[in-house]
Amino acid sequence: MKVVIAEKPSVARDIADVLNIKTKKNGYIEGRGCAVTWAFGHLVTLQEPGEYDPALKRWSLDTLPFIPDEFKLKLIKNRGVDEQFRIIKTLCEQADEIVCATDAGREGELIFRYILALCDCQHKPIRRLWLNSLTSDAILEAFKDLRDGHEYDSLYAAARCRSEADWIVGLNSTRYYTVRHGRIGGGTDRVLWSIGRVQTPVLAMIVERDDIILQFRPQPFWELTTRYRQVVFKYRGKRFEKPEKAQALLEKITGNPFEISGIAGKEVKEQPPQLFDLTTLQREINKLHGLSAADTLSAAQNLYESKLITYPRTDSRYLSKDMKPRVPKILEQLKSIRFEQIEPLNLTKLPFTKRIIDDKKVTDHHAIIPTGAKTRSRLGPNEQLVFDAIVTQFIAAFYPVCIKKITTVNGASIQVKFQAKGTQIVKPGWTVLFPKKKKKQAAADDQVLPDFQKRETGDHEPFLREGKTNPPKHFNENSLLGAMEAAGKFVEDDTLREALKERGIGTPATRAAIIETLLRRNYIRREKKQLRCTDMGRCLIALIQDPLLKSPEMTGEWEGKLKQIERTQLDPDDFMDSISKYIHGLIQRGSAGALDTARWGSCPLCGKEIIKGHRAYGCSDWKEGCPFVLEPDCKGLSLTARQIQSLLQQRIVQNPVRIDDEPRMLILSTQGMPMDLRLPSADRQKKDKKTDRPAKNMGKKSR
C-alpha cells in the first residue's frame, strides 16, 4: 500500500480527487491501493526541558545553558492531534511506500520528517511530491515525476537545524533574561522576557529607528530658487545652512536677467515590473492597501488552496525555462477577466527576458503567478486585492517598456547657475496597467516645460525657501519587510536587495509571523501604518548586552548558512556546534557581567571608552566629533557614580528610581539618550496565549 501524507485536509482532498481515490475513512481517503491522509500543519514539535528531566521545570541560572545530546519529539497539544497521529502512524506502519505531499519547502519537509520519526518509520521507502500549484494538471504532472525522498535530506537537515537552533537560543536566552531581569522595574511578580534568534534582531531594528527619530533635532536650511516662464529653477550648488549666504546671492541676482544656457534631453526606458515573490507581494499590498503581511500571506494561501495562484511562500521573482510553454496558455485563460489588458499582447511572441526567465534564480519555487483557473466562488475582499495584484503584475511583466523623455534645462543669472527638470511620457508601455500607482515626484522634476531656446533671456522671480531636515521615517510593514529581506539594510534597489536575499532575516514564509509575534508580546505596537516599539520592547533591547543576539547582520549570516546546508555546502553539525558555542558564551558573559569599577563604560554611539570630566561623563573620542555626553543630573535625578556606571556599562539602572512619585527605571537608548520607563507588572503584562505563561509554564522557546 502507498500512503500519501498531505499538510492539510483540503490539500489531501484535492490530491485524492485527482487520483480518483473516493472511499472516505476516519482521517484518510482510500482507494486504488493508496491511502491519502493529512496533518494539521505542525503535528510534532520538540520536547521541553522538563520532559528530559523534571528538575528542569524550575527555571534556574544553574541549569543554563541546557542543550540536549539528542533532541526528542512530541505531539503538539491541540484538539484532534492524538487521534489523527494514531491514524497516520497505523497507515505508515502498513505502508510499502510513503509519499511526502506536504508543502514543497523547508517547513513542509520538517513537518513530514518529524511525523515519520515519531512514527518510527524512517526506514520505509519515501518519495517526494513537489508541487508548485494545486491545479489538477500540476498534481498529475508532479505524481508522474515523484522523486526519491532522500534527495531532499539536505532540505530536511536545514529545517532541523533551524528548528533546533531556535529552540537552543530562544529557550536558553528567554530563561536567562527572565530569571536574571524578570523582577526589574519594582514589580513583585516576574516579567517574562521572550527572546528569539530571529524576533529579537527585528525588535532591535525597530527600537534603534525609534531612538534615532526621538533624538533627531531638525536643522534649518535655505534653498535659492527662481521662477522663469512659470518654471521653477533650483540653484545648482548645495543648499545653505545659514541664511546670510543665501540672502547675499538672492540680492545679487535680483533685478538681473535670467538666461537659458543649455538644454539637454534624453530618453529613459523604465522596465516592466518583475513578478512577485512573497515579500514583494506583501510590501506592495501593504503600501497600496494597508494590509498586514500576515493578512496578505493568509489571503495568498487561500488563493493557492483554491488553485488560483502558484505556491506563495517563495523567495524567487523568476520563472524557469520549462514554464515558457505554460505562460501563453495562462494568459489566454485570463482573458475571461482581463481581455482588454491581454489583447494587445502577441501570445505567440512573448518577450521572455532574463528579468522573467532565469533558472539560476529559481530556488525551491518560481515566482507567484496566476494559474489561469477560474474562480469557483466569490473571493473575499483580501483575496480579491491580492489576486488582482498578482494578475496585474503577471500581465505587466510582458508589456513594453515605458519610455520617458527627461529634459534638463540649465540657466544662469550673472553666473549664478540654476537648473530645472521636466519629465514627459513618450510611450506609457506597462504603466497603463497601473493608473493609481503614479509615483510622487518632486515638483521641480514633474514640470511641463515650455519650448525653451538656448541664449534666450528674460525677467525672473528669485526667492528663498526655508526648510528643515527630516528624520528617517518610522518603520511600517512595507519598509520593515524590505529591511528584513536585506539583512537589516534599508535597500530599495531590486538588484541589491536580490543580492542580499541569501542573508535575509527569517524567510518569506516566517517574516509576517515574526512581526505578529512582536505585536502579540507587546514589544511593538501599531500606530496607524507605523510599527513603533513599546517601553517593554525598548527595555528588553537595553537589557540584552550581547550584541550578536540583537544583530540583524548576524542573524542574516545564520540564515545564509542554512541555505548552504540546503545545498550541501555546509555540514549541519558544524552549524549546530556554532550555535552551541554561541549560547554557552552568551550565558558565561552574562553571568560574569558584574560592574567593572575600574572603568566607566563604553560609548553607546561609537564604542570608545567613556571618561569623566569636570561636570559630566563623555566619550573619549570627543576630539574626533563624537557628541555623547551624560550628565549626573538626569531626568530630575542626581545619579550616583555607581548608577552612572550601571547606566554606561549595562545600559540600565537596575534598582528602581522614583520620578514624579512613581517607581521607574532609567535606560540608555541605542542612541545614548537617557530614558525613564515604567514597565507593567507581570500580572498586567500581555500574555501570548500559545507561549507566554509566566506563572506556570515559562519553558516555551521563541523564534
CA 601/CA 245 separation, integer angstroms: 43
Neighbour count for residue 241 (Cβ, 10 Å): 12
DSSP states along 111-137: HHHHHHHHTT-TTS-EEE---S--SHH
Predicted pLDDT of residue 699: 39
Length of the chain: 703
Residues noted as catalytic: 311
Neighbour count for residue 440 (Cβ, 10 Å): 6
Domain chopping of the chain, boundaries? 2-145, 167-214+474-684, 220-256+402-468, 278-396
Contact at 8 Å (CB) between 460 and 524? no
Predicted pLDDT of residue 493: 65
Predicted pLDDT of residue 697: 37
* Cα three-residue angle 170-176-180, rounded to 5 degrees: 145
- Return the CATH number of the domain spanning residue range 220-256+402-468: 2.70.20.10
**Phi, psi (deg, nearest 5) at residue 619:** -75, 140
Query: Which is it for strands 73-75 and 457-458: parallel, antiparallel or unpaired?
Result: unpaired
Q: Tell me the β-bridge partners of 667.
A: 652, 675
Q: Helix, strand or coil for residue 197?
A: coil
* Ordered mean pLDDT values, 10 residues apiece, the chain (703 residues): 95 95 96 96 95 95 95 94 97 97 92 97 96 91 95 96 96 93 67 92 95 93 96 94 94 96 95 96 95 96 95 94 94 96 96 94 91 89 97 98 96 96 93 74 66 95 96 95 83 62 83 95 94 93 89 87 94 96 90 71 87 91 89 82 85 66 77 78 44 38 46
C-alpha cell at 467: 526648510
Predicted pLDDT of residue 495: 66
**Which CATH number applies to 2-145: 3.40.50.140, 3.40.50.800, 3.40.50.920, 1.10.3720.10?**
3.40.50.140
Predicted pLDDT of residue 661: 63
- Of the candidates 59, 125, 137, the one whose C-alpha atom is nearest the C-alpha of residue 698 is 59
Predicted pLDDT of residue 579: 95
C-alpha cell at 679: 514597565
Contact at 8 Å (CB) between 279 and 463? no
Q: Does domain 278-396 have CATH number 1.10.290.10?
A: yes
Predicted pLDDT of residue 27: 96
**Which CATH number applies to 167-214+474-684: 1.10.238.10, 1.10.460.10, 3.90.550.10, 3.30.565.10?**
1.10.460.10
Does the bond joining 65 to the residue before it have cis omega, within 30 degrees of 0? yes
Q: Helix, strand or coil for residue 498?
A: helix
Residue with cell 502498513: 94
Q: Helix, strand or coil for residue 420?
A: strand
**Phi, psi (deg, nearest 5) at residue 559:** -65, -35
Predicted pLDDT of residue 686: 46
Contact at 8 Å (CB) between 176 and 592? no
CA 132/CA 368 separation, integer angstroms: 9
Task: Compute the Cα dihedral for 447, 450, 453, 459 and give only its sign.
Answer: negative
Q: Tell me the β-bridge partners of 260.
A: 411
Query: Which is it for strands 220-228 and 231-235: parallel, antiparallel or unpaired?
Result: antiparallel
Predicted pLDDT of residue 102: 95
Predicted pLDDT of residue 597: 67
Q: How far apart are the first and last CA of the chain?
A: 38
Contact at 8 Å (CB) between 409 and 391? no
CA 13/CA 16 separation, integer angstroms: 5
- Of the candidates 301, 292, 398, the one whose C-alpha atom is nearest the C-alpha of residue 355 is 398
**Phi, psi (deg, nearest 5) at residue 407:** -105, 130
Residue 139's identity, in one-letter code, is I
